[in-house]
Structure 1
């Protein structure tokens, strides 16, 4: 299995010349065809590599190898959303393939895969206001969620260890400094008022440097101060950065008539530097006397803060003025170094975006950690119960009927 490292991530993040993209597309397409026997999936994966989306293409390749008949762990990520970016037709082909693999996959893997697929189908149904389609996929989602929960066995003896998410990141610190300098050139801080957050701010305060075991940079801007069109235009015309993904928080809610609806809020922009380092730009929303930011799955809440000047590797930056309060909100005992860090179980101010994909990821984490990390599994289970996503009756866990 390929070890997760800064070098691998740097290669996947980079922009590649045509011959490299074409070669990777042919290899990826062939692997998808051999693994699944579905020409539509091979064509889709070919397109990902050919259009330069190496990170998504690489993860999808790993998924096909592990879920297919070869059962090879190339770079398997048990929480990867393999439905990302797929059309309804492609999702149907993928669903058909996973259903054909039912007897070859464990119940955990099969039900987890089908939950993600039903979640993607349900969200697509709401895109066209297909209420009947949404309700049908929601029913199937609950079926596979209950199947997963009914087969989870919590293991308190811990006889084995799951693959740790400890990253090998030599060279990150040197490359990170270059990224921050070029970010300042493209977005002068006096004009744009961007600030460092998350792990980048933690490294600045605790380590007086970038964290050597990190793999990306985290910065923030306030959404109500931002012209999104002008902001995107900066990176579309940048000599240093390219846009990898614009992520939205998509939440499902019921309107007054009981119909399911989607609400979208811009969440973050993933950009990639020419040296291969990824930079996450979190859009912070001031709402209800608090400050919210996050991704398509997670969101974090902070007390209001002002910005104060800091410096990292000779680069002047801004950050939350009360560093101790901000970091305690996020990490609790932030002075303790944690290399095997999870943004779900390792942060203390976490909430979740209310959609089916989020619930599926949480359930998959609970099942996965139950095998060998009972403490992590209990944390995820507590989150699921506090969010009202699952119910426990007479010791039997099931998905709540009121998740949406």
Structure 2
């Protein structure tokens, strides 16, 4: 367990370095070990089996309004691989906004229309705005929306820029539904138009010049996996798969919510309006997102994908509470990175967590224990920290 105090003005640069002890009652390891709920005890008593990792950052304000960030973690280990699934949509959303700004083309904005012309995309697919693609993939994990923006950005641009920003172990090298690692290296071509169909920009087909791999030391998971209908009796190797360590995902979410507290060299180069847009999209309930087919769909509910605090249930959240998050799950791994804020109680904090819910250790399309272990743990974890924060607030006020 590591403990860090993060001070105003140097948030992300300090997340790379300074380590200081802080009050024990705010330590996530102690909170987890003291909790008596079955869902948390089951995981905490067998941390290696569940490959659990938790990052927790408190947000404190002093009398003059300056913020202090206090961080602790439980079993954070960048070399213990987990499949990030749709967590990788957060950096792709931010980088898409960066690239739009960086092109410096009159009339080009997130409300411009993007159409991918690559062979892996149906010619019948209609253009959609960059704004809509970002909303679709952040709110309800639309994988096709991710793929469009992946093609817009290109594999080389994505990973070069993330490394510049200080995300040294993050690799986004895999398009969803890609046939092979080589298939993901090549992106485009594409066209961007305005609402009347006028061409604003033509993007060329690009192949990443360097073969990129998952940098994690050990990328093999499980004792067997399904390859189509064929069972393979060896561990599945994620050497050519995306990597997004929980520590870097947690840090990135903080930088999106509080860009002004982030060192310039670690901050996405987007406008304050774009940061607000990203934050809003992370916090939207599906019915607020402006996507027509979601509004009257009875299968879609407000707390969908809000695993930290709501799990997989249709719970009504406390009136002042809003969750800004990105979740992902696949191959038995389930992860969620969230900023949780209750304006009525003046409480806010960041929590990110991942666990492995696959006791059979076979990677297939089914057999995972998301319902039994994944959703309950994340739900109780969010509530544990939320009510802990309220208690701290009450003590401070008194």
Could you say which structure has the greater relative contact order, defined with CA pairs below 8 angstroms and 6 or more residues apart?
2
Q: Which has the higher helix share?
A: 1
* TM-score (norm. length: structure 1): 0.31
* TM-score (norm. length: structure 2): 0.31
